[in-house]
Amino acid sequence: MIKKTEAICIKISPFSRTSHIVSWLTNKHGLINTVIKGAQRPKSWFVGQYDLFQTCEILFYIRSHNNLHIIKECSPLIPRTVFHSDWRAAAIASYFCDLIYRSSYGNTHIPEYYELLSTSLNALTDKGHDISIMSWYELNFLKANGLSPTLNNCVTCGKAITTQPNYTFTAQLGGVVCSKCSPSNNAPATTVSPDIIAILKSWQRTASPATARNIKPNHKQTLAFRSLLGIFISYHLDINPASRRIAIEISGKL
């Protein structure tokens, strides 16, 4: 059976001396892995037709016995060539793709993934590397998985979070805890100031990364929410991708 779909190239691996395995995030089938035979031959039809972070239209033969499908045709739709020269933006884009790759299991299809990745890659293409785009992506990725941190109310008593100090944030309980409901010793927590909560809440409710860029955190705030989100992602997704650390280091923001 042949299928046609729009897809974003998120990983390229060697399959043989002349062929590639390409992982795609598709808008119809979720994450799929395909073989592109002869991709590295000088006269291959596929030369210049795909690259990391590109959106392409692909035509592929379904192979259900091993879930490694065969590409028949591939045409670039959105090349995003800026990533060839903006290596800081490319590092963040790599993290975005890696997070989706590590979080996609079997034939699970989460429709929100495709729009989120496409929108975020376009934002990096237009605006370059930006801390706000990365944090906006992480919060919306958690939302797509039904794992948004609770920031408006105490996760224990439900009391609204205000501007009062002495709040704590705990990944194990899923968000912010007020001073009267301090988490027990077996639930590690981090003290968090109201300004950090306000920044995260703003990104959480912002509809686009372009709007999220209007929030300009200072260095101290950057350190705080980067740490909180890293702990939260590691705990709830059970992954601690090196690509996140590399993206942070290369972006030059910390």
Cα angle for residues 169, 171, 176 (degrees, 5° grid): 30
Residues 250, 224 contacting (CB under 8 angstroms): no
Tokens of 197: 């909560």
pLDDT confidence tier of residue 108, bands split at 50, 70 and 90 = confident
Residue 206 has pLDDT above 70, yes or no: yes
Rounded Cα distance between 228 and 211, Å, is 22
Q: Could you say which architecture CATH assigns to the domain 89-251?
A: Up-down Bundle (1.20)
Looking at the predicted structure, is the pLDDT value of residue 77 above 50?
yes
Residue 252 has pLDDT above 70, yes or no: no
pLDDT of residue 107: 63
Strands 20-26 and 30-36: antiparallel
| Fold match, 2-79 / 89-251 | no
Fold of 2-79: OB fold (Dihydrolipoamide Acetyltransferase, E2P) (2.40.50)
Mean local confidence (pLDDT), 215-239: 91
pLDDT band at 57 (very low <50, low <70, confident <90, very high): very high
Q: Percent of the chain beyond pLDDT 90?
A: 55
| Better-predicted residue by pLDDT, 104 or 253 | 104
pLDDT-based confidence at residue 37 (cuts at 50, 70, 90): confident
Does 56 or 63 have the greater pLDDT score?
A: 56
Domain boundaries, the chain: 2-79, 89-251
Kindly state the DSSP code that residue 81 receives in the 8-state scheme.
G
Cα 24 to Cα 21: distance, rounded to the nearest angstrom: 10
- Is residue 52 within 8 A of residue 83, CB to CB? The reply is yes
Share of the chain above pLDDT 70, in %: 95
Tell me: pLDDT of 103 over 60: yes
pLDDT of amino acid 106: 63
Between 107 and 26, where is the model more confident? 26
Instruction: For residue 177, give the nearest of 149, 202, 136 by alpha carbon.
Output: 149
Spatial separation of the C-alpha atoms in residues 60 and 1, rounded to whole Å: 8
pLDDT tens string 123-176: 999 877 777 899 999 999 999 999 999 999 999 899 898 877 778 999 999 999
Contacts of 185 (CB under 8 A, 6+ apart): none
pLDDT greater than 90 at residue 115? yes
| pLDDT for residue 254 is more than 60 | no
Mean pLDDT of all residues in the chain? 88
Average pLDDT over residues 230-238: 93
Q: Which of the pair, 109 or 168, is modelled with greater confidence?
A: 168
pLDDT for 89 equals 93
Each residue of 176-188: pLDDT tens digit?
998 888 766 567 7
pTM of the model: 0.91
